């Protein structure tokens, strides 16, 4: 190869690249990402001896993540365009024949081209590295923590992640462009790689296994899957992240070699596809046939026309032509004024016909199908359990992803459609026709929309198997048509219009790509910000919640206004594009004034802009007035400012009884409530003024005593009623109230769900949070903006050592609740139903509680009922798949928990399915509400019924949370969530079998290990109730720790201790903490010292053993086989654990005690040949890397 020629080609290519706006936009993007992309997002933080430890933003770990993501997403796109269009551009400029009619070889051409592109990209990368180094090392990283400078920290990530991405994208796109010579095919490359990124990063179904995971790590072009799973393995401390190097790993090397090698191979092949012969597709000279049989006519060098006289007579026959040709006027052609809509339809049809012949659009469709499949196949519930896929669930789950994917596709298809005329050279002919500009311009984006809708149609059809392959899977096309069709269309229309406007303004295909890509990335970033609302969320991503019990009933007005706004904005944008677009090249010297141009532009644009503005204003008003809007925030701030100082410590009477009459109108979203509180003054002084917190949803509340209105001061949501006469100590009064509430009160801020609602799909009202009733006292949970709110003090370690008295405002009370609903509904209310009448199409149910409760819940729905005695399960008739498992759990839990903890104190136990606008379950006394996404959609994991498990967990809250209410000290969460999880462990073990129990414990262990923060894990007894703790510690580890207590004090003694504890606190007058429970358990312990050791390690410390087997020797002896090994604890903790040897006859095990400082030699003799050595075969000890403590011997 001739180096000089290579350099010439490279220099020309680099020069061309560096002059293009596309490159400058890349540099701009590179600098912007430096400032906005956090390098520490994936890194752990922790606690050190002198305070929190944050990850260094300039560590090799942080920068690897940064360059991995930036290289793939940002540089990948631009590298694809620069590399892929390199050869195509030479075709379009028609220089191919010229440059290849020289000694330049194909190898030199390819090498030079790629070198030039690489140089341009390299310069941009250098700019980014310098900007990053300047930002971190010089400017201090804007508040992020920065460690010592080390050049290797920058060099390694650039070499390992950024450069392979640049080469890969540029090379791959170059090869694709050289082969196909079609710009759309080039755009498939970044689309393919970006769409695949979520798949490679997150796809980990339970069945994948280590081998499958390894394969994916090897194939992932970004290398980030390896990084997140190996380099940044769970368990890595922040100190190790900050100071350690990334391990040199053969898997990463293999990954890089595959990616780079495959690209290099394709680039090497590309040399066959470049040059005049390589571009023959579409440029080959066709054989001509004619009626005269004349073919391949030699083009005469003689320009003479022959001897025809000046001017040729009309109708004259050219010499030698044979039969006379009829005159043109016989065709009777006329040109009329073009019919714009008909012409538009014809143009769109032509474009669609052309699109149908683009095989790469089908390739893009296949990509979309792959994206939908990979993301749609992963659907998990709040407990991490896999969920049955439903049409509505899939449609809303993938709505945001599919919208952005379609916008990416639209960017390419619209730009290529608009630019194609210019490329092929037909644009001047098109412009010089009477067809209006708006028809010429709008036909392309309209056709592109048609292409996109066709793609979505294909995606819908190919998504069907995701649902029907599931046993009992029910297909419903309506959600797809509604969500992916009608609701997505305005988003796509707006994006098509924006792309058209950008192209009309800049008239450059590459600049349009760059701007469009940048806008999409910015949108994606912004939409994750908390300031996004319905008004700014033009894609509606993340807003939709589907419920099979009634689709899209929440926020309907917001959805309609948002779509209307976006659709009219699309029209406004398109109208602007038409105004901006020029068919005639303007002369700079004759340009009209800005005012005239604006005036001319306003006329066609104004109507759409006005309409769009109206919708925006209406939508903004709805958001502001909604229960999450500015108006509510202002009320909350005023509530806090006016009342916190004066009323937060107010003395409150005790509620002994609550009587309610509730008229529910689900269709209107309304609940008319008339209620009565029986209040008793248990203080030693009279109470005159009593505050009640009234949420905005309640509207206007009328108060009275014995039928007389009473003075009430409304202090921005704190109603202070004045009793006259005052309520003397020991006296009681019946305070009446009535109101008509709307639930929810207005729209959400940006979609998502809500916990309480009155909707046609169902009713959920309760008093736990944002109470639907007036609540006694000041509610410290109503939070103003942080600046106004003082930081609450951390609870001291000694807090919780004594139980707390239940505050009067949170007293237990009996209830009498009457609910009036349309006859199509059933109700489920706290208490026991004593009466049910149906009158005039409405049902009147009366519910009472005899044992006091702390909270009220009212549920209603169009349910089917599964009942046995006083235990009932209400569900949507179609959601019957897991009903039997859940009902089984309901019955078993009621029976077993009554035996283990305390007899169930109430009559009814009900579990009711509610619309998935809330994603959790709440266990009120006698009345459990279950989101339709929980339990009803759960799928088994490793043969274990997760529906059974989650039901068992939630039923346990009847005891742990309701019967015994925990205090607020550290560790008190364990009494609620930890104990509920422990109860479900017991029930699974007892009811589903020993093997199911082991499987469940393994799942809890895996969940705990994958989500624990190594450097910041609080001990179980130190988890704060204010959310400063960790769910993994409370739910997963807490259950395990409670289970392991069985080994220390015995299962029956442990349960007896728990019964003692529940008996002591079931009256509800005092709120215990963890120390109280441990005290009761200790009383049952046969060896208190062993109990104390266990509690100190597992409750008050954060030990985690990790076992290893070494020096393994297997010898056949006269009496059998002797298996000898050394057991080590590479983790922490002084623990006892079983070690076993498995043979065909079974498991032979013995117990050993082991600590990190003392390895234990073990010898076990078995009668038959051993097949396996297993530490903790019965899954009784929480440990790390359980799989490594298992050795196969065959």
Partner 1 sequence: MIEVRDLVKVYPGPVPALQGVSLNLPPGMFGLLGPNGSGKTTFMRILAGLLDPTAGKVFWDGEDVTRRPERVWPRLGLLPQDFGFYPDLTGREMLTYLLRLKGVEAPGGLTDLSAELLERVNLTDAADRRTGAYSGGMKRRLGIAQAIAGDPKLLIIDEPTAGLDPEERMRVASLLSELAQHRTVVLSTHIVDDVATLCPRLAFIRSGRLLASTSPGRARAALRGRLLEGSVEAEAGQNLIRTAEESAGRIAVTRTLLREGRSLVRCFVRDGARPDGFEPVEPTLEDAYVLLMRGVVGPASMDEAVA
Binding status of residue 362 toward partner 1 by CB under 8 A: no
The answer to whether the beta carbons of residues 1132 and 1017 sit under 8 Å apart is no
Distance CA 844, CA 335 (A): 75
Report the residue number, 239 or 358, with the smaller CB distance to partner 1. 358
Containing 857, the helix (H) or strand (E) segment is: strand 857-861
The answer to whether the beta carbons of residues 176 and 200 sit under 8 Å apart is no
Binding status of residue 353 toward partner 1 by CB under 8 A: yes
Binding status of residue 838 toward partner 1 by CB under 8 A: no
Question: Which alpha helices (DSSP H) does 237-316 contain, by range?
Answer: 238-243, 250-270, 275-278
Report the residue number, 186 or 817, with the smaller CB distance to partner 1. 186
User: What burial letters (b/e) apply to 250-288, b meaning 16+ CB within 10 Å?
Assistant: eebebbbeebeeebeebbeebbebbbeebbeeeeeeeee
Distance CA 1118, CA 976 (A): 55
Nearest residue to 609 (alpha-carbon basis) of 576, 562, 582: 576
Q: Under rule CB under 8 A, how many of the chain's residues touch partner 1?
A: 76
User: Considering only 224-232, 343-351, 498-506, 616-624, which stretch makes contact with partner 1 by CB under 8 A?
Assistant: 343-351
Report the residue number, 356 or 1158, with the smaller CB distance to partner 1. 356
DSSP state, 56?
A: P
DSSP assignment string, 356-375: HT-HHHHHHHHHHHHHHHHH
Distance CA 1159, CA 1155 (A): 7
Containing 657, the helix (H) or strand (E) segment is: strand 654-665
Report the residue number, 299 or 529, with the smaller CB distance to partner 1. 299
Distance CA 674, CA 664 (A): 12
Binding status of residue 435 toward partner 1 by CB under 8 A: yes
User: Considering only 204-212, 507-515, 585-593, 616-624, which stretch makes contact with partner 1 by CB under 8 A?
Assistant: 585-593
Binding status of residue 617 toward partner 1 by CB under 8 A: no
User: Considering only 123-131, 319-327, 596-604, 840-848, which stretch makes contact with partner 1 by CB under 8 A?
Assistant: 319-327
In this chain, which of 49, 51, 311, 1027 binds partner 1, going by CB under 8 A? 311
Distance CA 513, CA 20 (A): 12
Binding status of residue 89 toward partner 1 by CB under 8 A: no
DSSP assignment string, 902-963: ----SS-EEEEEE-TTS-SEEEETTEEEEETTSSTTB--BTTB-HHHHHHHHHHHTTTBTTT
In this chain, which of 233, 333, 791, 1145 binds partner 1, going by CB under 8 A? 333
In this chain, which of 584, 700, 1089, 1119 binds partner 1, going by CB under 8 A? 584
In this chain, which of 327, 472, 841, 943 binds partner 1, going by CB under 8 A? 327
The answer to whether the beta carbons of residues 1130 and 1175 sit under 8 Å apart is no
Report the residue number, 338 or 788, with the smaller CB distance to partner 1. 338
Binding status of residue 430 toward partner 1 by CB under 8 A: yes
Report the residue number, 327 or 471, with the smaller CB distance to partner 1. 327
Binding status of residue 328 toward partner 1 by CB under 8 A: yes
Report the residue number, 202 or 289, with the smaller CB distance to partner 1. 289
Report the residue number, 287 or 1145, with the smaller CB distance to partner 1. 287
Binding status of residue 336 toward partner 1 by CB under 8 A: yes
**End-to-end CA separation in angstroms for the chain:** 57
> Environment class of residue 382 by beta-carbon count within 10 Å: exposed (0-12), middle (13-18) or buried (19+)?
middle
Binding status of residue 461 toward partner 1 by CB under 8 A: no
Report the residue number, 312 or 475, with the smaller CB distance to partner 1. 312
Smallest separation, CB 344 to partner 1 (Å): 10
Binding status of residue 93 toward partner 1 by CB under 8 A: no
The residue assigned the tokens 């529906």 is: 947
Smallest separation, CB 447 to partner 1 (Å): 12
The answer to whether the beta carbons of residues 763 and 727 sit under 8 Å apart is no
* Residue 1179 tokens, joined: 């899954």
Binding status of residue 588 toward partner 1 by CB under 8 A: yes
Binding status of residue 304 toward partner 1 by CB under 8 A: yes
In this chain, which of 49, 103, 210, 314 binds partner 1, going by CB under 8 A? 314
In this chain, which of 45, 237, 358, 740 binds partner 1, going by CB under 8 A? 358
In this chain, which of 139, 426, 486, 610 binds partner 1, going by CB under 8 A? 426
Phi and psi of 955, rounded to 5°? -65, -35
> Environment class of residue 61 by beta-carbon count within 10 Å: exposed (0-12), middle (13-18) or buried (19+)?
buried
Distance CA 750, CA 534 (A): 5
In this chain, which of 585, 684, 706, 1187 binds partner 1, going by CB under 8 A? 585
Report the residue number, 343 or 738, with the smaller CB distance to partner 1. 343
Binding status of residue 1119 toward partner 1 by CB under 8 A: no
Smallest separation, CB 1011 to partner 1 (Å): 53
In this chain, which of 250, 425, 781, 793 binds partner 1, going by CB under 8 A? 425
Smallest separation, CB 484 to partner 1 (Å): 28
Smallest separation, CB 158 to partner 1 (Å): 41
Report the residue number, 310 or 1116, with the smaller CB distance to partner 1. 310
In this chain, which of 51, 332, 594, 943 binds partner 1, going by CB under 8 A? 332
Binding status of residue 787 toward partner 1 by CB under 8 A: no
Torsion angle of the four alpha carbons 301, 307, 310, 314, in this order, in degrees rounded to the nearest 10: -100
The answer to whether the beta carbons of residues 222 and 200 sit under 8 Å apart is yes
In this chain, which of 312, 486, 728, 1113 binds partner 1, going by CB under 8 A? 312
The size of the chain, in residues, is 1194
User: Considering only 1-9, 430-438, 532-540, 784-792, which stretch makes contact with partner 1 by CB under 8 A?
Assistant: 430-438
Binding status of residue 331 toward partner 1 by CB under 8 A: yes
Distance CA 1043, CA 1041 (A): 5
* Residue 616 tokens, joined: 């925006």
Report the residue number, 287 or 840, with the smaller CB distance to partner 1. 287
* Residue 498 tokens, joined: 């924006």
Binding status of residue 431 toward partner 1 by CB under 8 A: yes
In this chain, which of 138, 142, 207, 305 binds partner 1, going by CB under 8 A? 305
Binding status of residue 434 toward partner 1 by CB under 8 A: yes
What does the per-residue mask of binding to partner 1 show for 259-298, with x meaning CB under 8 A? -----------------------xxxxx-xxxxx-x--xx
User: Considering only 50-58, 83-91, 139-147, 299-307, which stretch makes contact with partner 1 by CB under 8 A?
Assistant: 299-307
Smallest separation, CB 320 to partner 1 (Å): 7
Q: Which residues does 882 contact at the CB level (< 8 Å), separation at least 6? A: 935, 936, 937, 938, 945, 947
Binding status of residue 836 toward partner 1 by CB under 8 A: no
Count Cα atoms within 13 angstroms, Cβ side, for 201: 16
In this chain, which of 469, 586, 792, 1145 binds partner 1, going by CB under 8 A? 586
- Strands (DSSP E) contained in 1061-1129 are 1070-1071, 1107-1117, 1120-1129
Binding status of residue 429 toward partner 1 by CB under 8 A: yes
Binding status of residue 790 toward partner 1 by CB under 8 A: no
* Residue 276 tokens, joined: 């005049």
In this chain, which of 5, 20, 89, 420 binds partner 1, going by CB under 8 A? 420
Distance CA 533, CA 511 (A): 30
Smallest separation, CB 284 to partner 1 (Å): 6
Binding status of residue 152 toward partner 1 by CB under 8 A: no
Smallest separation, CB 100 to partner 1 (Å): 19
């Amino acid at each position: 190869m001739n180096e000089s020629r290579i350099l010439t080609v490279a220099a020309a290519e680099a020069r061309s690249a560096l002059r293009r706006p596309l490159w400058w936009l890349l540099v701009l993007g590179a600098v912007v990402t430096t400032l906005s992309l956090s390098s520490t997002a994936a890194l752990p933080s922790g606690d050190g001896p002198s305070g929190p430890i944050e990850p260094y933003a300039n560590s090799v770990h942080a920068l690897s993540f940064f360059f991995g993501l930036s290289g793939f997403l940002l540089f990948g796109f631009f590298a694809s365009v620069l590399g892929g269009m390199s050869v195509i551009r030479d075709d379009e400029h028609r220089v191919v024949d010229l440059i290849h009619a020289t000694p330049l070889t194909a190898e030199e051409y390819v090498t030079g081209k790629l070198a030039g592109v690489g140089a341009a990209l390299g310069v941009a990368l250098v700019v980014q590295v310098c900007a990053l180094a300047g930002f971190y090392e010089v400017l201090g990283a804007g508040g992020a923590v920065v460690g010592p400078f080390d050049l290797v920290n920058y060099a390694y990530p650039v070499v390992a992640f950024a450069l392979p991405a640049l080469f890969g994208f540029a090379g791959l796109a170059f090869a694709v462009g050289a082969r196909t010579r079609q710009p759309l095919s080039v755009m498939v490359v970044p689309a393919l790689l970006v769409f695949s990124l979520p798949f490679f990063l997150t796809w980990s179904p339970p069945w994948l296994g280590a081998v499958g995971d390894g394969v994916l790590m090897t194939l992932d072009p970004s290398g980030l899957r390896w990084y997140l799973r190996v380099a940044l393995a769970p368990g890595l401390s922040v100190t190790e992240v900050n100071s350690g190097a990334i391990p040199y790993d053969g898997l990463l090397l293999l990954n890089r070699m595959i990616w780079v090698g495959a690209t290099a191979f394709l680039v090497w092949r590309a040399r066959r596809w470049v040059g005049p012969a390589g571009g023959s597709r579409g440029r080959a000279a066709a054989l001509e046939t004619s009626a005269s049989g004349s073919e391949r006519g030699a083009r005469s060098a003689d320009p003479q026309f022959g001897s025809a006289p000046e001017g040729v007579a009309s109708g004259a026959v050219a010499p030698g032509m044979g039969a006379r040709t009829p005159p043109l006027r016989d065709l009777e052609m006329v040109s009329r004024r073009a019919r714009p809509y008909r012409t538009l339809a014809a143009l769109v049809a032509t474009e669609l016909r052309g699109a149908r012949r683009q095989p790469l659009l089908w390739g893009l469709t296949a990509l979309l199908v792959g994206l939908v499949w990979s993301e749609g196949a992963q659907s998990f519930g709040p407990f991490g359990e896999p969920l049955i896929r439903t049409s509505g669930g899939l449609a809303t789950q993938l709505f945001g992803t599919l919208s952005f994917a379609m916008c990416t596709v639209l960017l390419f298809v619209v730009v290529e459609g608009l630019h194609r005329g210019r490329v092929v050279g037909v644009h001047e002919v098109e412009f010089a026709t009477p067809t209006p500009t708006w028809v010429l311009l709008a036909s392309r984006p309209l056709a592109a929309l048609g292409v996109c809708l066709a793609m979505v149609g294909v995606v819908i059809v190919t998504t069907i198997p995701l649902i029907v392959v599931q046993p009992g899977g029910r297909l419903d096309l309506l959600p797809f048509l509604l969500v992916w069709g009608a609701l997505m269309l305005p988003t796509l229309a707006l994006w098509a219009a924006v792309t058209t406007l950008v192209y009309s303004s800049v008239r450059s295909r590459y600049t349009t790509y760059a701007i469009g890509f940048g806008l999409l990335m910015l949108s994606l970033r912004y939409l994750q910000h908390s300031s996004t609302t319905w008004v700014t969320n033009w894609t509606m991503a993340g807003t939709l919640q589907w419920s099979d019990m009634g689709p899209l009933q929440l926020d309907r007005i917001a959805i309609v206004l948002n779509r209307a706004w976006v659709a009219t904005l699309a029209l406004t944008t398109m109208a602007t594009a038409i105004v901006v677009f020029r068919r005639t090249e303007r002369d700079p010297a004759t340009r009209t004034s800005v005012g005239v141009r604006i005036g001319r532009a306003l006329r066609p644009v104004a109507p759409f802009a006005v309409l769009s503005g109206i919708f925006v204003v209406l939508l903004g008003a709805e958001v502001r007035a909604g229960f999450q809007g500015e108006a509510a925030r202002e009320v909350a701030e005023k509530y806090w400012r006016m009342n916190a100082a004066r009323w937060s410590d107010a003395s409150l009477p005790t509620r002994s009884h609550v009587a309610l009459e509730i008229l529910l109108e689900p269709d209107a979203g309304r609940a008319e409530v008339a209620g009565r509180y029986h209040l008793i003054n248990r203080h030693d002084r009279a109470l005159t003024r009593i505050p009640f917190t009234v949420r905005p949803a309640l509207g206007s509340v009328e108060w009275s005593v014995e039928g007389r209105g009473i003075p009430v001061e409304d202090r921005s949501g704190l109603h202070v009623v004045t009793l006259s006469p005052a309520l003397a100590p020991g006296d009681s009064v019946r305070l009446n109230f009535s109101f008509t509430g709307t639930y929810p009160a207005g729209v959400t801020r940006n979609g998502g769900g809500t916990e309480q609602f009155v909707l046609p799909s169902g009713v959920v009202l309760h008093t736990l949070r944002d109470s639907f009733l007036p609540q006694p006292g000041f509610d410290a949970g109503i939070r103003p903006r942080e600046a106004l709110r003082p930081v609450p003090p951390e609870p001291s370690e000694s807090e919780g050592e004594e139980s707390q008295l239940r505050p009067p405002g949170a007293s237990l009370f009996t209830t009498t609740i009457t609910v009036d609903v349309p006859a199509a509904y059933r109700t489920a209310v706290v208490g026991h139903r004593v009466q049910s009448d149906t009158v005039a199409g409405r049902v009147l149910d009366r519910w009472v509680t005899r044992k006091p409760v702390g909270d009220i819940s009212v549920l209603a729905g169009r349910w089917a009922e599964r009942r046995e005695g006083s235990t009932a399960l209400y569900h949507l008739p179609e959601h019957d798949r897991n009903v039997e498992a859940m009902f089984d759990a309901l019955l078993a839990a009621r029976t077993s928990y009554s035996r283990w903890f305390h007899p169930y104190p109430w009559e009814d136990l009900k579990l009711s399915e509610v619309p998935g606008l809330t994603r959790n379950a709440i266990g009120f006394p006698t009345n459990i509400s279950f989101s339709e996404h929980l339990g009803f959609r759960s799928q088994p994991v490793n043969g274990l019924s997760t529906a059974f498990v989650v039901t068992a967990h939630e039923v346990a809250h009847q005891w742990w949370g309701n019967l015994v209410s925990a205090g607020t000290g550290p560790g008190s969460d364990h009494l609620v969530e930890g104990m509920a999880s422990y109860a479900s462990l017991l029930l699974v073990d007892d009811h589903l079998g020993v093997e199911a129990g082991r499987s469940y414990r393994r799942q809890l262990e895996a969940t705990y290990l994958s989500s624990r923060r190594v450097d910041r894990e609080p001990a179980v007894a130190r988890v704060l109730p204010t959310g400063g703790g960790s769910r993994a510690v409370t739910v997963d580890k807490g259950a395990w720790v409670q289970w392991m207590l069985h080994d220390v004090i015995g299962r029956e003694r442990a349960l007896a201790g728990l019964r003692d504890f529940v008996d002591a606190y079931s009256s509800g007058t005092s709120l215990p903490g963890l120390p109280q429970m441990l005290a009761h358990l200790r009383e049952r312990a046969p060896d208190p010292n062993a109990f104390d050791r266990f509690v100190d390690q597992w409750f008050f410390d954060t030990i985690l053993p990790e076992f290893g087997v070494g020096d393994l020797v297997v010898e056949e002896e006269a009496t059998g086989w002797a298996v000898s090994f050394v057991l080590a604890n590479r983790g922490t903790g002084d623990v006892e654990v079983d070690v076993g040897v498995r043979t065909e006859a079974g498991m032979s095990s013995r117990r050993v005690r082991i600590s990190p400082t003392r390895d234990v030699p073990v010898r076990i003799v078995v009668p038959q040949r051993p097949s396996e050595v297993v530490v903790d075969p019965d899954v009784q000890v929480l440990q790390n890397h359980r799989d490594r403590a298992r050795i196969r011997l065959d």
